[in-house]
Amino acid sequence: MKKVVLLASFAASILLFAACGSDTTNSSSASSTSSSAVASSTTTETSAATASTDSSEVASSHSSEAMTADTSSTSETNLWTSEKAATLTDFMKNWGNTMGQEYHAYEPGHNVDFYGVAVPDKVLDKSMQMVVDKQEIPIQWSTTGMGAGYQLVAVYSDAKTGSFGAMHLYFFVLVDGQPKVYLTEQNQGNEQNYLYFHETDNQDLKDGFENLFK
């Protein structure tokens, strides 16, 4: 009888031990599975973040290239540019030397006193009306040379060093895109407040301006 009881107790102990081992194995397996899932999720998130960063960098690069292309395109389509203005300055210095004259450049806000008239401001605001061949000219200042009509892109005069009665004022104009150089030597006012210009007869000066657009 005692042998039967002992055998029964021994069998029960074996079953209990097996059950505990199974629970431990299942728990370890579940823990391993959970860790793998977390690692996989982290890897996926990192990959997604990297892809997002790469995409942003590519988009930024394309945007910068587009802006550069637009700026370059605008510069190429303008008829008048800072490079042409600098070239004209050099030309006027050399040409003036050959003429025994000294020329300086002027623009809105930086005027030459031409026989008491502040040019170009007083011409641009119509206080003095530009006239060519008895026609009033609706001239306007332009930094690009673009547009219809008379686009004034540069003003040069020797009034700073010239003597009274021998001063020259040149307007460099694009007339519907065509380069023209107008001269006035007018030293007296008039009731109409007209400032009379005519196209220069100096071929070297004409060619110097026209060559900027070839």
pLDDT tens profile 18-45: 443 444 444 444 344 444 433 344 444 4
Where are the chain's structural domains? 94-211
Largest Cα separation within the chain, whole Å, is: 149
Instruction: Name the amino acid, one letter, at 95.
Output: W
pLDDT in tens, 8-17: 444 444 333 3
pLDDT in tens, 88-97: 999 999 999 9
pTM above 0.75, yes or no: no
What is the token pair recorded at 37?
A: 């899932």
CA separation for the pair 88, 143 (Å, rounded): 14
Cis peptide before 179 (omega within 30 of 0): no
Identify which has the larger pLDDT, 161 or 30. 161
Instruction: Name the amino acid, one letter, at 157.
Output: S
φ, ψ of residue 142 to 5 degrees: the values are: -140, 135
CB 12: neighbour CB atoms within 10 A?
10
